Amino acid sequence: MTAQLAKPSRHWPLSKVIQGLLLTPLLALSAGCGDDDGEDVPLPGPLMAGVAKARIPAPVGIGTVGYGGFGVTGPESPFNGRYYPATNRVHGHPEYRAVVISRGAPHEVIFLRADTVGVFQHFRRAVALELEERLGYSVEDRLIFGGTHTHSGPGRIIDAGPIYDLMADTFFPEHYLRMVRGAADVVQAAYADLAPARIGHAWASAPDGHNDRRCEDGLDYKNSDVPILAVERQGRIEALVYSYAVHGTVLGIEDFTLSREVSGAIEAFIEAGFDHPVTAIHFNSWGADMSPGSPEIPLQAGAAQPGGYERLLMVGRSVADDVHAALAGILWEEDPEVFAEVHRIPIGRQAIGYPDGMFDYEWGGVYCSYADGDDCDPSTTIPDLDGRCVPFPETSPLPDLTELAAGRVGRLAFVTLPGEPGTLLAEELLGRLASEHAEDNVMFLGYTMDYTGYAILEDDWWQGGYEASGHIWGPWQGEYLVDRAVE
């Protein structure tokens, strides 16, 4: 179902969104417990599901995001900003995709994904507030919002100061409000599409769709798991929500292209493998150190395509084949538990617990080893690495809160981590969930709820390199987030 544009009853300026972030307390929702007013939570009803998708309201000409537009020249348009050139072509228009799994409020989960480099907490919060206005109740604790991490998605939606401008270009308020309303439109359309359903889950492995790109740890290692949540209505599969680890970009800044990129290619091939309409919804997982693969897939002869397009086809076909091979093993459920929780946690020097003299950046720091280049000797570290970062200025500090979510749809649990986690860090989290909470069917959703840069293990961080340079709260950031997620 394609979302139709709905007129919102109120527009939320960014100042109000940030104020709401700071003033809203931690929310926790437990099935069978009282709600915020002390009233009993209704028992779950019949299982319903709704699905929707629509193009992101981004014009051709908007700049892209995430490459670092340092000195890159190219097309100009009324929509590009100060640092990034305009786009002048589209290869798979970026989209919003959503599925609502509901047994009646509050036994609901909304999975919403955007073809963006990430989702920042003020953006997710604005969408939640817009939906509250439209639906008449809060979806704050059930909105699981992630980005596919395409660098060819639209930028200019972050109002957080000069360092973020280098990553995502200058803030464009009108474009930001269109993005918020567009995301709310798709979720609202998914609610309108609710129909009786059942859900199931399966587990695929897609080793040829990605490669280990991080040399500093001295490993050639990847985890190729693809957990899949299947939604069936009227006796046939109508949606698949899955997560897969792949740094979601093949095209470069000088391709000047808006694109769904790697995730879009995978979704398209998954959908093409059915004889009826199906919506595939891609969440990225531990993609920080996972570049797209180069599988050998034969292609039909045809017209020459721009660089990168054929690689997208081959990655998409390879992963989709692995997903389809796993669907015969779907375990279906008739009476699944459905719930989600969102928690805001403090983050920063003091929250993480650095001692005096270690990572001494009160407002955050980044690019600690960006200029050093690759050092692929795993036995070497950079002893003073935490003293070589570019500090965030006091006038535009990093947020001192971030967001985590966890929940369950039947036998499949899920947990989120903000930003770009590395494979070994994600495996540490999954291992602890299994050992400490007996949860061994967990869908890991990275790039979801917020964006806090890269996140790798501390020992790996001291080896430097690109992924280490992208930490914004230093060497302990990754494992601090794991501790909070396990809590």
Across 82-86, 156-160, 271-275, which has the greatest mean pLDDT? 271-275
Per-residue pLDDT, averaged over 132-146, amounts to 96
Band of pLDDT at residue 20, cut at 50, 70 and 90: very low
Mean pLDDT of 85-101: 97
Extract the runs of DSSP E, i.e. beta strands, from 293-450.
331-333, 338-346, 365-366, 390-391, 401-409, 412-416, 420-421, 442-445
Q: Determine the Cα angle at 83 with ends 80 and 89, to 5°.
A: 40
| Residue 209 per-residue DSSP state | G
Structure confidence by residue, pLDDT tens digits, 358-384: 999 999 998 887 666 677 888 888 889
What is the C-alpha to C-alpha distance for residues 64 and 474, in angstroms, rounded to an integer?
Answer: 27
pLDDT of residue 202: 98
Mean pLDDT: which of 14-18, 249-253, 432-436 is highest?
Answer: 432-436
**Start-to-end CA span in the chain (Å):** 37
Residue 38 has pLDDT above 90, yes or no: no
Segment 115-143 shows an average pLDDT of 96
Task: State the Cα–Cα distance between residues 405 and 241, nearest whole angstrom.
Answer: 17
- Directed axis angle between helix 309-326 and helix 261-272, to 10°? 50
Whether omega before 106 lies within 30 degrees of 0, making that bond cis, reads yes
Give residue for tokens 């900003």: 81
Mean pLDDT of the chain: 90
> Looking at 16-30, 72-86, 389-403, which range is the least confident one?
16-30
Q: How far is 221 from 211, CA to CA, in rounded Å?
A: 8
pLDDT tens figures, 336-356: 999 999 999 999 999 999 999
Q: What is the pLDDT of residue 352?
A: 98
- Residue 25 sits at φ, ψ, to 5 deg, of -75, 170
Q: Is the model's pLDDT at 3 over the cut of 50?
A: no
- pLDDT, residue 11, reads 34
The number of CA neighbours under 13 Å toward the Cβ of 340 is 25
Token digits of residue 256: 């000047």
**CB of 245 closer than 8 Å to CB of 286:** yes
Q: What share of the chain is helix, strand, coil (3-state, %, to 5)?
A: 30, 25, 50
What distance in Å separates the CA atoms of residue 319 and residue 63, rounded to the nearest whole number? 29
